[in-house]
Structures are given as structure tokens and as C-alpha cells.
């Protein structure tokens, strides 16, 4: 099933950013739109920063924008989005900023106009809690933290020292 439905998302270029491209899909099959930096800065190893994009958006009700890392930045330089995916709610009207962290070994220079992340428009389903006294049984039960892996046993705590 192919879906090429386009959902209009109002976007405002903030003052001084008319020269920057709007987020865009690099290919027809791309799920995420490339988002660029509107500022220059250096991210030293271990540093994290909220990097400005020079844009504000009005996401339609019932949607969110998820901010995701760019795989090339992560692989080549250790630059990623620590709260992946970052969520931009439909009622937020401030500047879109991308939290980046440098897990690499070298300082990384972000230049104005560099592609720093991907934005994915996603529908939101809201939950309503139904409180019960018991939950239904499943084969997995309460097993978690690797309990479904091959030869999974009880998880051992990590010991330091």
C-alpha cells in the first residue's frame, strides 16, 4: 500500500533565516525530512547542546514531529540525538531546536546550514487508562530486560570495581 498523503504543516522562518532551506525529504522513499542548523557551534566530546534551526511550526492537532538522528553523523562522528526520538507537540510554537550530543572522540564543528537531524511527522494516538485488578496472562509474563533472547537467564547486575 502506497501512501503519498501530504499533511500541511505551517512553518515560520524566524528572523534572519530566510537563506536556510525548509526541512525536506532527500529522496522519494525517505521517511524523515532533513533539518538544518541555523547556528555555528563546536560540540566537544561529551558535550550536548540545543541547536537552533531558525524555524517554528504549527503541527496539526493529532500529530507530533519526531526528531531523530542522522545515521551518517552518528556513524562517522558519534553525533546523535540523546532523547531519541525527541517529540515536538502540536501545541508548541517556539523555535524548533535539536538536542545533539557528541559521543565521538573529536570536537565536531556544526556549521550554519548543516543537516543535523531528521524530522518525521507522525500521527498520535492518545491512551485512556482502564484500571483493573489483574492483567491477562501471556507466555512472556513479567520477563523483561533481555528475557526473550537466546539463552536468556536472569539479568546480572553490573558490578564496578
Tell me, what's the pLDDT at 55?
98
**What pLDDT is recorded for position 159?**
64
- Contact indicator for 116, 37 with CB cutoff of 8 Å: yes
Residues 6+ apart with CB under 8 A from 121: 7, 9, 59, 63, 64, 65
- pLDDT truncated to tens, each residue of the chain (161 aa)? 566 789 999 999 999 999 999 999 999 999 999 999 999 999 999 999 999 999 999 999 999 999 999 999 999 999 999 999 999 999 999 999 999 999 999 999 999 999 999 999 999 999 999 999 999 998 888 878 877 766 555 556 666 66
What is the C-alpha to C-alpha distance for residues 161 and 158, in angstroms, rounded to an integer?
10
| CATH class given for the domain over 11-123 | mainly beta
Q: Where are the domains of the chain?
A: 11-123
Cβ contact 73:116 at 8 Å: yes
pTM (two decimals)? 0.83
Predicted pLDDT at 144 = 80
Amino acid at each position: 500500500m502506497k501512501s503519498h498523503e501530504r499533511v500541511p504543516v505551517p512553518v515560520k522562518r524566524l528572523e534572519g533565516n530566510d537563506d536556510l532551506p525548509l526541512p525536506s525529504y532527500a529522496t522519494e522513499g525517505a521517511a524523515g525530512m532533513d533539518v538544518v542548523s541555523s547556528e555555528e557551534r563546536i560540540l566537544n566530546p561529551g558535550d550536548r547542546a540545543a541547536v537552533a534551526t531558525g524555524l517554528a511550526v504549527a503541527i496539526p492537532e493529532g500529530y507530533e514531529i519526531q526528531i531523530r538522528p542522522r545515521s551518517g553523523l552518528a556513524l562517522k562522528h558519534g553525533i546523535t540525538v540523546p532523547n531519541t526520538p525527541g517529540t515536538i507537540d502540536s501545541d508548541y510554537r517556539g523555535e524548533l531546536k535539536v538536542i545533539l550530543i557528541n559521543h565521538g572522540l573529536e570536537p565536531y564543528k556544526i556549521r550554519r546550514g548543516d543537516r543535523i537531524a531528521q524530522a518525521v511527522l507522525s500521527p498520535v494516538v492518545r491512551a485512556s487508562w482502564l484500571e483493573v485488578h489483574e492483567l491477562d496472562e501471556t507466555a512472556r509474563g513479567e520477563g523483561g530486560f533481555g528475557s526473550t533472547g537466546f539463552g536468556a537467564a536472569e539479568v546480572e547486575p553490573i558490578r564496578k570495581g
